[in-house]
Amino acid sequence: MPSETITREQAVTMLDIQDLSVVIHRPGRQVAALSNVSFSVAPGEVVGLVGESGGGKSMVARAIVGMLPSGSHATGRVGFDGADVLRMDAADLARHRGSGAAICFQNPRGALSPTRTVGRQLIDRLVTHQDMKGDRAAETAKELFAAVGIRNPARRLEAYPHELSGGMAQRVMISLATGCAPGLLIADEPTTGLDVTLTREILRQFRHAADTDGRGVLLISHDLASIAEVCDRVVVLYAGTVVESGPAAKVLREPAHPYTRALLRSVPDVGGGRVVATAGGMPLMTAAPHDCPFAPRCAHATDDCRSTRPETTMLDGDWSLACFHPQETPLAEAIAADLTTAATEPGDVVLKIEDAHVVYRSRFGSGGHHALRGVSLELRAGETLGVVGESGCGKSTLAKLIMGLVEPSEGSVEVAGKGVRKQSRAERTRAQMVFQDPIGSLSPRRTVGDSIAEPLRAAKVPAKERAQRVEAALGRMELDPSILTRLPHELSGGQAQRIGIARALVGRPDLIVFDEPTSALDVTVQAQILDVIADVASDAGHGSVFISHDLATVRGFADRVVVLYLGRVVEEGPVDEVFDRPKHPYTRALLGSAPRLGETRTADVQLVKDLDEADAATGCALAARCPFVTDTCRSQEQTLQPYGETRAACWRVPELTALIEKS
Amino acid sequence: MAAIEMAPVVSSNRDGRFAKVLIYVGSGILVVAALAALLAPLLTRWGPTEIDPSGTLAAPGGEHLLGTDGNGMDVWSRVLHAARLDLGIAVLAVALAVVVGTLLGLLAGYLGGWVDDVLMRIVDIFQAFPTFILALAVSALLGGGFFNLVVTIAAVNAPAYARLVRAEVRTLREMQYIDAAKTSGASTIGIMWRHLLPNSLTPVRVIAPLNCGWAMLTLAGLSFLGLGVTVPTAEWGSMISLGTSDVVAGRWWTSVPPGLALLVCVLGFSLLGEGLQERADAKRR
């Protein structure tokens, strides 16, 4: 290690974790949550802590703020500005949590008190921790809100948490955390559940906190791609051990540890690269490992890996690694993906939606939420249609509409040539759905076998044939028949989603709707499930609708794509055409904010406001957020117009390229 | 290397061990009570309504383990035989209340609309009266006797189950697995029976044993006021009622033993219910 690195670290390191191990004792079991973890964070630095759930990321965060769960046994040192957090008494800890390290929790709405306005909660903090007087605190609160990009802060201070959107609530959390001027800001999965445009916005806030206020930031995430851009350094955790750490550019572009590589390969890329799944799951450690915990899943593992735990070695600079077999081939070459997907002949029309509107009437009064406004679609057997858009754009409503779970207030929906609301019970099983929450979509007190067989029961298939077909579907999901007698809570997320797909397949439907099927799963599991879905979606027998806010996964296997915005189709066309040559400014903005690994991206269109602030009564729905808006846009709505193979609904498509170049 | 220990897990009831103790003790008491009721003829040589011509109001000891009451009937025998009636009515009444209440709750919660409105207004009418006053009214209407008492006590308890299950169903029906069942072509009855019913019963399982205790008290209360069983029949409430005047004269044995029996049984139900509640909480963590 070069000597200057040592002096730099000794001089300015704020957080310095040395050899931290945490074992949690619970009656009847013991979990080694962390084993010999060491890393540091300096002021002004953004460090990403990545890995799958169960890897110990949150435990590190808890150790830093001195909130280890009851029954834990910690060894090592959590140095913070020279003091050891593990040895602080209650008074020191309280001070440390207020001004030393502050956490932004994963679920911002849950972390805000629901009965008090967010302004009140922020001001209270300022008064207690910063000894501010009421007026000054209110003034500072306004400034803090403005600093995290909340427009109209004075009004938002009066809002209750339930009145805020997810992104807005996360901003409030950040302002609460930064309000006490902490040295270190810890964000535990700050962007889970947010869509691409918001994720980007929120992450930028953390970068901003590090750059302008000189705070250290520890970003905890399972989503490598999204944090890649803002991090200076990255620490990769696996089963409670640090397997690789170093400068973000190095670790994310030329990862040396097979686990880091597996993580990166699991992430779909919006550029069209295919994911490569790594089999298996993370082990639950009961004691500090004496071998390499990743060995059972690793393609390069040798006997050494299975008998000795690799030491952490320095590669160069502060890039360190715990592996006997560092990999050197650049990742991009190693996964030179074969993009040759056999084109299937389109079959019969399986889904036909004509000018469908859905209005959710509010229970009281006359108002209502217009979730879909005139959507028309057609899908043939063998085809896969991707549906993308921000949250709140009507994606889920579209899924429900197709499944007959909501009724169109205008227009019509036909599945396999039959109007959705006129179906018999057996006909209703012609369209099947794979849900977002894999465990929540299985009835908790019904066995797996029972759940899979449900569509067959509705179609009055005799019991004997039912059992055979359930087993066949299970085989296709590569699951053992012994799983049939289990209950949903005994399944892992990945297993549960395979069961969900098996249930969708078992009745040989004409149409399968995948509603964000992987967003609740860990990255490597996500890759495994995407593999399965890609296989299922390529069947010629049925059409597939794949709904996701993650553009990259859609690109992976859709033939055509539809971009939804506030209940309208703003662009549709062949997937490569739409992704490579987007026509609509909204599509351009979406694609621009999608994370790309190892690239600094340039969004050529930046939307000017958040979705929940844009309400358009007349004219183009995007008018309030579009940088290229004209008077025509504000007064008149454009319909879908053909441009080559795609269709887009925007007045300014012909001039758009020129406009973007100018700006 | 210095090791830092965090405080051990706070209290033992967090891991469900406490719950187990409660459940064992509660059901232990109830099993003993049930055995005593079933084996009553073997535990005493007097019949419950058999009059000993040799003496009334005899003190405990000798011929009569717990003495005799004002009619010369053996108190020990009566206490044992009364358990059959008290436990039987309480358990059957609660079972009936659970069945009826759950059914109404399921229908109201899942179907909603006018079905919900009509059923819940009926429930409201029942719940508008204090439980015991309602029980008094119903039993005055129906009269005493085993079957009528079961119906009376079930009627005053069923509305609570209807509300409980309805509330549960209203949250459950928004769950993804209900959507999943719908898209799998399940019928409305299928969804209610196969998916909503098994998942909405958790709170019912916890409340029902507690409710058995209350039911026994209601029954004893009715009998105390003379609205329950007719006089020579052995029943704790009526025994207490008959014995109250004796207490003043220092003859405690006619009313204290049935009172204690009632207390112990209610305690058994309470402990069992409490234990089930604790276990449900421990599972949720």
Lowest-pLDDT range, A214-228, A258-272, A388-402? A258-272
pLDDT at A367: 60
Strands A46-50 and A216-221: parallel
Averaged pLDDT, A368-394: 85
Contact A403 B183 (CB under 8 A): yes
Q: What average pLDDT is seen over chain B? A: 85
A618 pLDDT band, cuts 50/70/90, is confident
Q: Any CB–CB contact under 8 A between A265 and chain B?
A: no
Contact B185 A455 (CB under 8 A): yes
User: Which of A27, A68, A454 faces B15 most closely, judged by CB atoms?
Assistant: A27
A341 pLDDT band, cuts 50/70/90, is very low
Q: Any CB–CB contact under 8 A between A445 and chain B?
A: yes
B57 pLDDT band, cuts 50/70/90, is confident
Contact B186 A441 (CB under 8 A): no
Share of chain B above pLDDT 90, in %: 31
Residue A436's closest chain B neighbor by CA? B176
A498-543 pLDDT, tens digit per residue, is: 999 999 988 889 999 999 888 878 878 888 888 888 888 888 888 8
A1 pLDDT band, cuts 50/70/90, is very low
Averaged pLDDT, A624-643: 83
Distance CA A64, CA A77 (A): 10
Q: Any CB–CB contact under 8 A between A71 and chain B?
A: yes
Distance CA B150, CA B49 (A): 23
Cβ contacts (< 8 Å) between B171 and chain A: which residues?
Answer: none
Angle at B171 between CA B169 and CA B173, to 5 degrees: 65
pLDDT at B32: 93
pLDDT at A9: 43
Cα A335 to Cα A243, A297, A554, distances in angstroms: 21, 18, 19
Task: Give chain A's domains with CATH numbers.
Answer: 3-103+183-194+212-334 (3.40.50.300), 349-430+509-662 (3.40.50.300)
Q: Three-state SS for A508? A: coil
Tokens read off for B74: 């053996």
Cβ contacts (< 8 Å) between B283 and chain A: which residues?
Answer: none
Interface contacts (A, B; CB < 8 Å):
106
Closest approach of A586 to chain B, Cα-based (Å): 31
Closest approach of A75 to chain B, Cα-based (Å): 5
User: Which of A431, A441, A507 faces B176 most closely, judged by CB atoms?
Assistant: A441
Averaged pLDDT, B254-277: 90
Distance CA A613, CA B277 (A): 45
B31 pLDDT band, cuts 50/70/90, is very high
Give the torsion through C-alpha atoms of B89, B94, B99, B104, to 10 deg. Answer: 120
Q: Any CB–CB contact under 8 A between A69 and chain B?
A: yes
pLDDT at B105 over 90: yes
A210-240 pLDDT, tens digit per residue, is: 888 888 999 998 777 777 778 889 999 988 8
- The distance from CA A468 to its chain's CA centroid, rounded to whole angstroms, is 36
Contact B198 A404 (CB under 8 A): no
Tally Cβ neighbours within 10 Å of residue A427.
19
Tokens read off for B212: 């058995």
Q: Which one is predicted more confidently, A613 or A247?
A: A247
pLDDT at B271: 92
pLDDT at A503: 92
Share of chain A above pLDDT 90, in %: 9
pLDDT at A334: 53
Tally Cβ neighbours within 10 Å of residue A44.
17
pLDDT at A342 over 70: no
Contact B183 A73 (CB under 8 A): no
What is the predicted ipTM?
0.70
Q: Which one is predicted more confidently, A332 or B169?
A: B169
Candidates B1, B4, B11, B199: best to mutate against A (most CBs of A within 10 A) is: B4
Closest approach of A410 to chain B, Cα-based (Å): 21
Q: Any CB–CB contact under 8 A between A432 and chain B?
A: yes
pLDDT at B120: 93
Contact A25 B194 (CB under 8 A): no
**Contact of A405 with A485, CB cutoff 8 Å:** no
Residue A451's closest chain B neighbor by CA? B181
Cβ contacts (< 8 Å) between B182 and chain A: which residues?
Answer: 403-405, 428
* DSSP H/E element including A156: helix A153-157
Cβ contacts (< 8 Å) between A459 and chain B: which residues?
Answer: 185
Long-range CB contacts (within 8 A, 24+) of B239-247: B239/B69, B239/B75, B239/B78, B239/B79, B239/B82, B242/B69, B242/B70, B243/B69, B246/B57, B246/B69, B246/B70
pLDDT at A7 over 50: no
Q: What average pLDDT is seen over chain A? A: 82
Contact A86 B4 (CB under 8 A): yes
Closest approach of B176 to chain A, Cα-based (Å): 5
Contact A454 B5 (CB under 8 A): no
Cα A386 to Cα A605, B187, B285, distances in angstroms: 22, 30, 39
pLDDT at A249 over 50: yes
Interface of A with B in 519-558 (CB under 8 A): none
Distance CA B32, CA B38 (A): 10
Closest approach of A557 to chain B, Cα-based (Å): 24
pLDDT at A660: 77
Interface of A with B in 483-502 (CB under 8 A): 500
pLDDT at B284: 58
Listed by start position, the domains of chain B span 16-47+65-284
Q: What is the CATH number of domain B16-47+65-284?
A: 1.10.3720.10
A64-99 pLDDT, tens digit per residue, is: 988 888 888 889 999 988 888 888 888 888 888 877
pLDDT at A180 over 90: no
Candidates A20, A87, A415, A443: best to mutate against B (most CBs of B within 10 A) is: A443
Candidates B14, B172, B183: best to mutate against A (most CBs of A within 10 A) is: B183
Closest approach of A517 to chain B, Cα-based (Å): 13
Averaged pLDDT, B21-35: 92
pLDDT at B11: 43
pLDDT at A600 over 80: no
Instruction: Compute φ and ψ for A243, nearest 5 degrees.
Output: -95, -30
Strands A233-238 and A241-247: antiparallel
What lies within 8 Å, CB to CB, of B130 at 6+ separation is: none
Please list, residue by residue across A317-343, b when 16 or more beta carbons sit within 10 angstroms of its beta carbon and e when fewer do: ebbbbbbbbbbeeebeeebeeeeeeee
Tokens read off for A439: 């465990």
Residue B2's closest chain A neighbor by CA? A75
Averaged pLDDT, B23-52: 86
Q: What is the largest CA-CA distance in chain A?
A: 76
**What DSSP character marks residue B193?**
I
Averaged pLDDT, B77-91: 90
B119-160 pLDDT, tens digit per residue, is: 999 999 988 988 888 888 888 888 778 888 899 999 999 999
Tokens read off for A663: 């700006």
Cα B13 to Cα A28, B204, B274, distances in angstroms: 15, 22, 12
Closest approach of A113 to chain B, Cα-based (Å): 21
Q: Any CB–CB contact under 8 A between A17 and chain B?
A: no
pLDDT at B107 over 90: yes
What lies within 8 Å, CB to CB, of B173 at 6+ separation is: B109, B110, B196
A268-300 pLDDT, tens digit per residue, is: 766 655 567 777 777 777 888 888 888 888 888
Closest approach of A103 to chain B, Cα-based (Å): 21
